[in-house]
Amino acid sequence: MRAQRKQRLWFVVATLTCVAFAVGLSLYAVSKNINLFFSPTQVVQGKAPKHHLFRLGGMVKKGSIHYADKGLEVSFVLTDYKSDVTVHYHGILPDLFREGQGIVTQGKLNNKGLFVASIVLAKHGSKYMPRVVKEILYKHKGSSHAT
């Protein structure tokens, strides 16, 4: 390799390294803000903001969904299998909302420690499979639990 080319290659490597380092440090500095939501554990530990809007994410706990007799009022518990936070919401839920589903909500904590949500979004996992396969897997799981 000619000396001039070597020099230019060094220039390229140095540029990439410096930019990566700068961007890396910036991202590290703001990484708390890049996370989309707080977990129930963080909320229980008081790491979430007390008096303004934030997002809370977790799984909908089994048997925790309660619909009001009238209207669109609904309450459910979000869990990360360590801590639970009860969420109140008034509005239309996304189609994928169900027990055990990952959910991201946006709202505020009230004085009683309830999370009053204004937006509820559904997260879906990275698994794709036909319904039949899911049923077979589910049955298999069910029978292995029974035995």
Partner 1 sequence: MWTFFYKMSSGRSFYQLSGRFIPFFALASMLLFAYGLVGGLWLAPPDFQQGDAFRIIYIHVPSAFLSLMIFSVMTFCAVLSLVWRIKMADLILQVSCPLGAWFTALALATGSIWGKPMWGTYWVWDARLTSELILLFIYFGVIVLSHTIPEERTAAKASAILTLVGFVDIPIIHFSVNWWNTLHQGDTLKIFSKSTIAPSMLHPLLAMIGAFAFFYGWMCLSRARSLCLLKDKRARWVEELVKSW
Name the site residues for partner 1 (rule: CB under 8 A): 5, 8-9, 11-12, 15-16, 19-20, 23, 27, 31, 34-37, 39, 57, 93-96, 104, 119-134
The residues with which 67 forms a beta bridge, in sequence order, are: 74
Q: How far is the CB of 32 from partner 1 (least distance, A)?
A: 10
The smaller minimum CB distance to partner 1, of residues 6 and 147, is found at 6
User: Token pair 């509820």 is at which residue?
Assistant: 120
Taking the C-alpha atoms of residue 107 and residue 103, their distance in angstroms, rounded to an integer, is 13
Q: How far is the CB of 124 from partner 1 (least distance, A)?
A: 6
Q: How far is the CB of 111 from partner 1 (least distance, A)?
A: 27
The smaller minimum CB distance to partner 1, of residues 69 and 95, is found at 95
Burial 36-54 (b: 16+ CB within 10 A, else e): ebbbbbbbeeeebeeeeeb
The smaller minimum CB distance to partner 1, of residues 30 and 147, is found at 30
Q: How far is the CB of 9 from partner 1 (least distance, A)?
A: 5
The smaller minimum CB distance to partner 1, of residues 69 and 120, is found at 120
Interstrand relation of 73-79 and 84-90 (parallel, antiparallel or unpaired): antiparallel
Minimal CA–CA distance to 85: which of 56, 49, 48, 51?
56
